[in-house]
Every structure is written in C-alpha cells, then in structure tokens.
Amino acid sequence: MTKSTVRPIVIAANWKMHKLRGEAMEFLDELATYMDEHPQGLGSRVEVVVAPPFTSLELAVEHCPPHARIYSQNMHQDDHGAFTGEVSPAMLRDLGVDGVVLGHSERRQYFNEHDGALAEKVVAAAEFGLRPMLCVGETLEERQSGAAEDVVRRQLETALGDLDVIKATSSGLSIAYEPVWAIGTGETATPEIAQHLHAVIRDELASIFNVEIAERISVLYGGSVKPGNAGELLANVDIDGALVGGAALEVASFSGIIGAALDLVAATPSAGAR
C-alpha cells in the first residue's frame, strides 16, 4: 500500500510551557526563513502547526510563518462564563488562532481531563471554526496488559461521539496518537507498533463516521519524534504527521522533521495530487 494522496502530512510543534515572547519571536522568524527557502510542498502537501503557550498566541498569529497554522494548547468548552483561568473558543477565534490541541496526555494526567469533557471541547472547537487536534494514547500499564487498542478506541468513541458527520468533514479534525510511555522518555514506538495503532485509529474513525471520512482525517504520531526517526515513521501508510515536543523547541531539529516530510512527498509518485 502507498500513502494517501488526500491527507496532508501535518508536522506540529507543541511548545508546552516553554518560551517567553522574545524566544517565541526568534523561533518564528527563523522558522519563516526556513519555510521561505523550502516552499515546494508546503501548505497543500505538508502542513506546519505551531502551538505556543497562551502568552505568545497573539504574537504567533501576527508573525505566523508562511503556510503555517497557529494552534492553542487547550481551551474551555464554553464560549464565556465564570471559569477563572480558562480561555474560551470565542477568545481564541478573536485572536485569529487556527486550531486547538485537545486531550494531550499531560492534560489528562496532571489536570484530570477526561473524555467526557473532551467530547464537549471537540464540538465547541468545530462550532467556532477551530481545527480540533484530538490526542489519544495508552499508558505503559495499559499496553503491558494488552488493553492498548481498547483504550484508544474508547477514547475516540467518547470524545468524537457527539461530532456529526458534517462537522467531522469540515472542521479540519486531526488525531494525534501519543503512546504515553514514549512521551518525554526518549523511547519511541517502533514504526510497526505505531502503524498498527494508527490503523486501529483509522478503523475506529470509520466506525464512528464512515470510511470516506476516516480516509480524509490526518492521524499524527507523537512520542519522542526526532529528525533521525521521522522519515521512518512517516513512511508508514497510516502515519500522517508528527506532534513534536522536545525536538520542536529548536528550529534546527523541528525543520529537520519538516524536511523529512517534504522528502517523503517529493519521492511519492502521486505527490502532486496532494
């Protein structure tokens, strides 16, 4: 099987709680230079996402590199209300933000974010024109017990069950598979393990929506992705990009991952159809 020509490869930088405004500006300027020098394939075939902390969101929107999108790392599901410390989808749209990362494993682990709340957030993001990037994945204990597939299917079914087919098609929904045991540990799922879970995710998306929609949703891998392993991971038929943490804090390493994606689409005979 060959890689789909209907799904873009998405390379996303999750800065987490890193970078002050000046550091963010330096990164964006340097990334813009790289993207100006490598325009072939960017935008239609390879999409670049940057998810800075809230303090740099407005700056990032104003200085967004060409062919890139700016995502928030989280949001509340209501458009307003007495929720001290939260940020609404309306506020993100007012800033000009393109999308939002939802359900990152650190949000689940440290802030007790659960699938029921994520179901509301996914719908709210879609209704406000924000592209939802839903994160799913199993812990080491769940993998060792043989429950990885069941966990990921349950997370998808609960979080996406209230999203109708039309919104699933038009919202720009993407999924990020994060094996929790590989995040920030230096461990990486083998390409075979990653591909298998990505195929499971696509199968579950077909069950929730339909096969045609499932074939159009980009499914990213997130778990210690680096320039050295990006090409091997992205070559798999169901791996449509990378959600990058540590390697996204420096343009040199992040651009190496973008470069791996560009090399892949350049080598794909049908890449021009992307």
DSSP 241: E
Residue 141 exposed, middle or buried by CB count within 10 Å (0-12, 13-18, 19+): exposed
Place of tokens 């090399």: 263
CA separation, residue 203 to residues 3, 29, 111, 214 (Å):
16, 39, 29, 8
CA separation, residue 73 to residues 26, 57, 180, 229 (Å):
20, 10, 17, 24
Place of tokens 């919202």: 171
Give which of 202, 259, 212, 205 is closest to 236, Cα–Cα.
202
pLDDT confidence band for 263 (50 / 70 / 90): very high
The verdict on whether 104 is a catalytic residue reads yes
What mean pLDDT do residues 21-47 have? 91
**Marked catalytic residue, from 104, 106, 113, 142:** 104
Q: 227-234 vs 251-267: helix axis angle to the nearest 10?
A: 30
The verdict on whether 178 is a catalytic residue reads yes
Predicted confidence at residue 274, as pLDDT, reads: 34
Domains contained in the chain, CATH given: 9-269 (3.20.20.70)
Separation of alpha carbons 18 and 76, rounded Å: 21
- Each residue of 182-230: pLDDT tens digit? 776 667 688 999 999 999 999 999 999 999 999 999 999 998 899 999 9
pTM of the model: 0.94
Average pLDDT of the chain, as a whole number = 92
What mean pLDDT do residues 157-179 have? 93
**Marked catalytic residue, from 47, 113, 138, 178:** 178
Range of lowest pLDDT (117-126, 136-145, 159-168, 178-187): 178-187
